[in-house]
Structure 1
Amino acid sequence: MRSLKKILILLLVALFSLFLISCGKSSQVNNANSTAATAETKTETHKTLGDLKIHYIDVGQGDSELIQIGDKNILIDAGTSDKKALDYLKSIGVTTIDYAIATHPHEDHIGSMDDVINNLKVGTFYAPKATTTTKTFENMVDALKNKNLKMNVPKVGDQITVGDATLTFLAPNSAKYEDLNNYSIVCKLKYGNNSFIFMGDAEDVSEGEILQKQLDIQADVLKVGHHGSHSSSTGAFLDKVNPKYAIISCGKDNDYGHPHKETLDKLNAKNINVFRTDLEGTIIATSNGNEITFNTKPIDKTADIPGGGNKKK
């Protein structure tokens, strides 16, 4: 009888030991699965973004920028009526503009917008609530009508999301301005940890309104307002944006002396790397969400270069 009790006790001890070993293995498996899941989550959080490209197109004394995110295209302005913007878009194989933005109705910004609308497929079209009686503006409106496209007026704070990029509208902030330049649509593009601001021809008045509203305008790259004119890029605005790079779109030996010396001096004083289409042609910025590279080098601040005039415009 005592022998039977001993056997039963030994069996119970053995079964209990097996149970403990089984629980230990299960815990190890669960811990391993948990670690793997955590690693997978971290990988997703730190995923690498594809390249975003921004083409600051050389259109002479004008403005035109193409933003490419994957297979999507955003066009901001289209230069003068000489079709340089359209020719460039065709040369790199662009057939569709998913979003087109006419910052304001000056010929050096919308001159070839009718050509773009007539020759390419255009999705959504944005423009400020500002009109002129010029033939250039009429041509753009007629092209929109022919393609059954609506002219959308964005509000400050409205956003366009394309893939991992977000474009936010920052201006205009008033209904009426004395100068047509201040109707310019200003927008900020955020891509990962990189940001880009596009100013159109917005002048100090518009910049002041943006600052007053305390909008988020910090950016790595600033497309300088009004071709580098002294009417734009106030010290307070540059301090808030605090860019590493500045792009000036202007024509070689233009009649306005753009970019003005006053603006160049401000940019140089803040040690901002400056690129100019009149000196370097089309400038292409490439971002992976963390780093930005360019197809050319910044201009030499110490070199004797053209521009830096002070004619009023």
Structure 2
Amino acid sequence: NTDINLDECSIQLLDAAIITSDDKNEHSIITLINYKQYQLLLMADATIRNEQLLLQRYNLKNIDVLKVGHHGSITSSSGEFIASIKPKISVISASKNNRYQFPASQVVSRLAKSSDKIYNTAQHGAITIVFDAQMKTSVEKS
């Protein structure tokens, strides 16, 4: 069983691994967290191919918080995927001035079409989301 239940929270590990792939990113652990009425989707370093499997296997709609896949790399966050899950808040974890220049501008553009808010740790620092009725967010640059 890949479900963990804790009071108002359930954690589900989603199976979208491509076991025949030599790309370790395509073996990423993808996590869906349901907390109260909120859904959080943590994409690890999953690729567009993993996203396609997720859309085939699971009914992922109206995600409240998306932890964007692979630091905002162009290999993740396809237009089809983002349009389907419609994240309200997207969080990109990337270091400032990283050598890969994450996040990719194309990914940020795709997210902007569906997300009310986009946060990038390289730009905003620590990001806090309070899961109250307003889903308040705050940032703290270091």
Write the distance in 2 (CA, Å) between the matches of 1:168 and 1:274: 24
* CA deviations over 1:287-313 (Å, ceiling 9, x no partner): 13x44111239xxxxxxxxxxxxxxxx
- Structure 1 residue 173: deviation in Å? 3.6
The count of residues paired between Structure 1 and Structure 2 equals: 139
1:217 match: 60
2:136 match: 293
1:110 match: none
CA distance 1:279–1:190, shift in 2 (3 Å): same
Q: Is the 8 A contact 1:230 1:262 kept in 2?
A: yes
- Unpaired runs of 5+ residues, structure 2, are none
1:188 match: 32
Matched, 1:278 2:122: yes
Structure 1 length normalisation: TM-score? 0.42
Structure 2 length normalisation: TM-score? 0.90
CA distance 1:242–1:271, shift in 2 (3 Å): closer
2:91 match: 247
CA distance 1:205–1:166, shift in 2 (3 Å): same
Q: Is the 8 A contact 2:17 2:28 kept in 1?
A: no
1:122 match: none
2:113 to 269, 274, 281: 269
Write the distance in 2 (CA, Å) between the matches of 1:180 and 1:205: 13
CA distance 1:192–1:291, shift in 2 (3 Å): farther
- Unpaired runs of 5+ residues, structure 1, are 1-154, 298-313
Identity between Structure 1 and Structure 2 (%): 28
- The equivalences for 1:21-32 within 5 A come to none
- Structure 1 residue 271: deviation in Å? 4.7
- Higher strand proportion, which one? 2
- Higher helix proportion, which one? 1
1:229 match: 73
- The equivalences for 1:84-95 within 5 A come to none
* CA deviations over 1:28-74 (Å, ceiling 9, x no partner): xxxxxxxxxxxxxxxxxxxxxxxxxxxxxxxxxxxxxxxxxxxxxxx
Q: Is the 8 A contact 2:42 2:67 kept in 1?
A: yes
Who wins on radius of gyration, i.e. which is larger?
1
- The equivalences for 1:31-110 within 5 A come to none
CA distance 1:283–1:271, shift in 2 (3 Å): closer
RMSD: 1.7
Q: Is the 8 A contact 1:188 1:217 kept in 2?
A: no
SS of the residue 1:232 aligns to: coil
Q: Is the 8 A contact 1:173 1:210 kept in 2?
A: no
